[in-house]
Amino acid sequence: MSPYELYLVTDDNQDLDTLINVVTQAVAGGVTMVQLREKHHNVRDFLYRALAIQPILRANNVPLIINDRVDVALAVDADGVHLGQSDMPVAYARRLLGPDKLLGLSIESWAQLEQAKHLPIDYIGLSAIYPTATKTDTQYHWGLEGLNAALADYDKPIVAIGGIRPDNLAAVAATGVHGIALVSAICHAPDPQQATRAIISIIQQSRACM
């Protein structure tokens, strides 16, 4: 199983108690990686939120990835960083992080995918597969066709993100993509643990049909 298989990205609008509850339940349900994505909190609260969820993740051997901020990741000794195209260039992030931390990069176009082939990253986030209300400024929508073409073109692990929900999940998983990243399908589920279990079962069934 890929370590990226079910990659939870947290919802920056959820308060600390909700964040802890969602992460606890998602881990109990079987997510394989968690990215803390903070767009509204200051750096101090970002760091405290990372420290709040880190023990849950460590106890379950689930890697913690920090979105955007290399400094926060280093300060809390997270397992990796996920960067976008306007964040610190990955070559510099790699210098700070050293060889062992995971480093992911969001890819929003074919030109960026081409450039990514030469970068010191561990995986890419293919953004966005479908339009999504969670992030309304997505530049390009890959769809299943784009995802399949990217999988054929790029050697490192690909995590699909954006607009993936229980009803379109099976088709995305059936492409053989290494990981599926979700925000709302888990964070907004009435029962995140049950939702996570159901999602994993759909992913495993789709893979079994490949």
Catalytic residues: 37, 106, 135
Examine residue 84 and tell whether it contacts Mg ion (CB under 5 A).
Answer: yes
Q: Does 22 bind ligand TZP (CB under 6 A)?
A: no
Alpha-carbon Rg for the chain in angstroms: 16
Buried b (16+ CB within 10 A) or exposed e, 167-183: eebeebbbbebbbbbbb
Dihedral angle computed from the Cα positions of residues 71, 69, 11 and 131, in that order, rounded to the nearest 10 degrees: -170
Residue of the chain from 87, 140, 146, 198 that contacts Mg ion (CB under 5 A): 87
Distance between CA atoms of residues 193 and 203, nearest Å: 15
**Sign, CA torsion 36/74/2/139:** positive
71: exposed, middle or buried (C-beta count within 10 Å: 0-12, 13-18, 19+)? middle
Does residue 68 bind Mg ion (CB under 5 A)? yes
Site for ligand TZP in 168-207 (CB under 6 A): 182-185
Q: Which is nearer to ligand TZP, 50 or 99 (CB)?
A: 50
Residue owning tokens 């990205």: 9
112 binds ligand TZP (CB under 6 A): no
Stretch that binds Mg ion, among 12-20, 51-59, 66-74, 167-175 (CB under 5 A): 66-74
Q: Binding partner of residue 68 among ligand TZP, Mg ion, none, CB under 5 to 8 Å per kind?
A: Mg ion
Residues near Mg ion (CB under 5 A) are 68, 84, 87
Residues near ligand TZP (CB under 6 A) are 9, 127-128, 132, 134-135, 138, 161-164, 182-185
